[in-house]
C-alpha cells in the first residue's frame, strides 16, 4: 500500500479516536506519536518519489511529485514538533483552568483533523477536492481559535470564519471556471478537474476563461495566504487561539494556500503565454510585504507582531513565485521551508514566554533572558533568523530573491530592501526590551520543551550555511517542474 494512504489514514483515525478520548492525560503524547508516524510515512513517500519520480494513484485522484512531496515532509515535520510542544503546553493550560475536558477533546481531535486537511490539500490531484480540503482546514481551526471562549477569541474566530469562508468561495468560482474551460476541450470529460490532465492540455484551454479563473483563484486562496488587503483575519486568529494553533497556522496553512495558488498559476501560464498571473502575484506580494512591514511597528501583542511578520514573509514568497524565473522559484521554495520552520519555532517560544509572564502584551513581557535563559535565547535567535540576518537560511533565500529581482526588475530592488530594513527595525524595537533587562518580581520559569525550537533553528542555520545535496537536488527538481528549467 502506498505511503499516501498512511499519510491520510493515520490523522483520520487519530481524529476519531481523539474526539472520544482526547481528554485523557496521555492524549497529548498520543497526538505527538500519531504525527511522528505520519512523518515517518512521509519520509518513505519522499524516498519513493526520489527513486521513481512522480506517483499517481486511484485514477489520478492523488499525485505526488517533486513540488508537493517536499511540502508534505515539511508539513509532517512541523506538525510533529508542534505536537511535542503542544502536549505540555495544553496540560499547563488545563491546570490553570483555561480549558476543560470537552475542549481538550475538541482540541486534540481538531489538531489531527487540521493535519488531515493539510495532507489532502497537498496530495490530491483534483482541484475540486483541494478546495474542499482547504475549506475543511478553516472549519477544523475555527473552533480552536475560539477555544478559550473569551469575547476577543470569539470575535476573532467569527472574523476568521466569515472572511475566509467568503474569500474561499471565490476560489470555488475560479475552480468552476477551470472546469468550464476544460469542458470546452475535446476528451477531458471526467478528468476536467485533475491537475495533471489540465496541465498536459494547458495550451488548449481558453485563455480568456483561464485569466478570469485565475483572478478568482488568487483572491480566494490569497485570503488564506493573508495577502493584503485580505489579511484582516490573520493577526486576530493567530493572537487569540492557543499558541500551538498559531504555530501550525503560520507554518503550514499559509504555505499550503500558496501552494494552491502556484498550482493554479502553472495552469494559467501554460494557457495564456503571458505574464499576467505572475504580475498579479508580484503586485499582491509586494503590497503585502510593505504594508505588513510597516504594521510591525504598531503592534502591542506579541502574537500579533509575529503574525504580521508571517504576512510579510508570505508576501515575499508570493512575489518570488510571481517573478517566475528558475532562480526566483528556487528562492521561493527555500523561503517557504525556512520561514515555516523559523516561524513555528518562534511561536513555540512565544507560547512559553506568554506562560512565564501570563500576558501577551509586549510592554508587560520583560527580562526573559534573566528569567529563563533557554526561552529568552530561543526568542532572540528566532527573531534574528526571521529578520534575515546571516548565517540563517532566511538570509540566503531573501538574498536569492533580491538577486533574481535585480536581474529582471532592477527598479523594484530598492522597495524590497526598504521593506526588509523596516521589518528589521520593527522586530528589534520590540524584541530588545522583552529579552534584556532585569527580571520582574514574581516571574518564575515554567516547564518548557525547547527541543522543537532548537531542532528548527538548527535546520534553518544549516540551510543558511550549506544546503545539503539531497535537498538542493529536490528544490531543483521542483523548480524545473514549476519554472521549466533548473536554477543551477
Partner 1 sequence: MPVPAYSVYEQAILFIAALVVFTSFLMLGQKRLSGMIHLFAAQGALLAATTALAAYALPYPHLYVSALIIVTLKVILIPAMLHRLIVRLDMHRDAEPLYLYGYVMMAAAALVMFSYYVVEPIEHLSTLATRNAMAVSLAVVLLGMLLMITRRQVVTHVIGFMAIENGLFFAAVASTQGMPMVVELGIAFDVLVAAVIFGVFFFHIRSSIDSLDVDRLNRLSEVEP
Residues that bind partner 1 (CB under 8 A): 61, 126, 128-129, 131-133, 135-136, 139, 142-143, 146, 149-152, 154-159, 161-162, 165-166, 169-170, 172-173, 176, 179-180, 183-184, 190, 192-193, 206, 208-209, 212, 236, 239-240, 295, 298, 300
Q: Select from 88, 91, 13, 8 the least CA-distant residue to 42.
A: 8
Q: Select from 65, 3, 5 the least CA-distant residue to 195.
A: 65
Give the cell for residue 350: 512565544
Q: Could you tell me the sign of the dihedral formed by the alpha carbons of 238, 242, 244, 245, in that order?
A: negative
Torsions phi, psi of 301, nearest 5? -110, 130
Give 298 or 432: the residue with its C-beta nearer to partner 1: 298
Give 304 or 352: the residue with its C-beta nearer to partner 1: 304
Specify which residues 301 forms β-bridges with.
Answer: 361
The three-class DSSP label of residue 208 is helix
Specify whether the CB–CB gap between 54 and 67 falls below 8 A.
no
CB of 127 to partner 1, least distance (A): 9
Give 146 or 397: the residue with its C-beta nearer to partner 1: 146
CB of 356 to partner 1, least distance (A): 23
CB of 156 to partner 1, least distance (A): 6
Give 165 or 270: the residue with its C-beta nearer to partner 1: 165
CB of 311 to partner 1, least distance (A): 13
CB of 203 to partner 1, least distance (A): 17
The three-class DSSP label of residue 415 is helix
CB of 142 to partner 1, least distance (A): 6
CB of 148 to partner 1, least distance (A): 11
Give 139 or 471: the residue with its C-beta nearer to partner 1: 139
CB of 110 to partner 1, least distance (A): 11
CB of 458 to partner 1, least distance (A): 35
Give 161 or 475: the residue with its C-beta nearer to partner 1: 161
CB of 467 to partner 1, least distance (A): 38
Give 348 or 362: the residue with its C-beta nearer to partner 1: 362
* Number of other CB atoms surrounding residue 124 within 10 Å: 24
CB of 215 to partner 1, least distance (A): 9
What gap in Å lies between CA 482 and CA 195, rounded to an integer?
13
Amino acid at each position: 500500500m502506498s505511503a499516501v494512504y498512511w499519510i491520510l489514514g493515520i490523522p483520520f483515525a487519530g481524529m476519531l479516536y481523539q474526539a472520544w478520548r482526547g481528554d485523557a492525560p496521555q492524549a497529548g503524547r498520543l497526538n505527538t506519536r500519531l504525527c511522528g508516524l505520519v512523518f515517518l510515512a512521509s519520509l518513505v513517500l519522499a524516498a519513493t518519489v526520489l527513486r521513481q519520480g512522480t506517483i499517481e494513484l486511484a485514477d489520478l485522484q492523488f499525485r505526488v511529485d517533486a513540488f508537493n512531496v517536499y511540502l508534505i515532509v515539511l508539513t509532517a515535520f512541523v506538525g510533529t514538533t508542534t505536537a511535542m510542544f503542544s502536549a505540555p503546553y495544553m496540560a499547563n493550560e488545563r491546570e490553570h483552568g483555561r480549558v476543560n475536558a470537552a475542549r481538550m477533546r475538541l482540541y486534540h481531535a481538531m489538531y489531527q483533523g487540521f493535519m488531515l486537511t493539510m495532507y489532502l490539500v497537498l496530495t490530491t490531484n483534483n482541484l475540486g477536492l483541494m478546495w474542499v480540503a482547504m475549506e475543511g482546514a478553516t472549519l477544523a481551526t475555527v473552533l480552536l481559535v475560539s477555544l478559550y471562549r473569551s469575547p476577543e477569541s470569539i470575535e476573532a474566530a467569527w472574523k476568521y470564519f466569515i472572511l475566509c469562508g467568503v474569500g474561499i468561495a471565490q476560489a470555488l468560482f475560479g475552480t468552476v471556471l477551470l472546469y468550464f474551460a476544460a469542458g470546452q476541450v475535446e476528451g477531458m470529460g471526467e478528468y476536467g478537474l485533475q491537475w495533471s490532465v489540465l496541465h498536459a492540455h494547458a495550451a488548449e484551454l481558453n485563455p480568456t476563461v483561464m485569466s478570469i479563473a485565475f483572478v478568482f483563484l488568487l483572491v480566494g486562496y490569497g485570503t488564506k495566504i493573508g495577502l493584503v488587503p485580505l489579511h484582516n483575519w490573520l493577526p486576530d486568529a493567530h493572537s487569540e487561539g492557543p499558541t500551538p494553533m498559531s504555530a501550525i497556522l503560520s507554518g503550514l496553512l499559509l504555505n499550503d494556500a500558496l501552494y494552491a495558488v502556484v498550482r493554479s498559476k502553472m495552469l494559467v501560464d501554460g494557457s495564456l503565454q503571458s505574464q499576467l498571473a505572475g504580475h498579479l502575484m508580484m503586485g499582491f506580494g509586494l503590497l503585502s510585504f510593505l504594508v505588513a512591514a510597516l504594521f510591525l511597528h504598531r503592534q502591542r501583542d506579541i502574537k500579533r507582531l509575529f503574525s504580521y511578520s508571517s504576512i510579510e514573509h508570505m508576501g515575499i514568497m508570493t512575489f518570488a513565485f510571481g517573478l517566475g524565473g528558475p532562480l526566483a522559484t528556487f528562492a521561493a521554495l527555500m523561503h517557504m521551508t525556512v520561514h515555516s520552520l523559523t516561524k513555528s519555532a518562534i511561536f513555540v517560544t512565544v507560547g512559553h514566554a506568554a506562560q512565564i509572564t501570563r500576558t501577551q502584551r509586549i510592554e508587560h513581557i520583560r527580562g526573559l533572558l534573566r528569567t529563563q535563559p533557554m526561552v529568552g535565547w530561543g526568542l532572540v535567535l528566532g527573531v534574528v533568523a526571521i529578520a534575515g540576518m546571516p548565517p540563517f537560511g532566511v538570509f540566503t533565500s531573501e538574498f536569492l530573491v533580491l538577486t533574481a529581482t535585480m536581474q529582471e526588475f532592477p527598479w523594484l530592488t530598492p522597495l524590497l530592501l526598504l521593506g526588509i530594513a523596516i521589518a528589521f527595525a520593527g522586530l528589534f524595537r520590540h524584541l530588545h526590551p522583552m529579552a534584556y533587562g532585569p527580571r520582574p518580581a514574581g516571574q518564575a520559569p515554567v516547564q518548557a520543551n525547547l527541543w522543537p525550537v532548537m531542532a528548527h533553528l538548527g535546520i534553518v542555520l544549516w540551510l543558511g550555511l550549506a544546503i545539503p545535496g539531497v535537498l538542493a537536488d529536490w528544490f531543483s527538481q521542483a523548480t524545473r517542474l514549476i519554472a521549466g528549467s533548473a536554477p543551477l
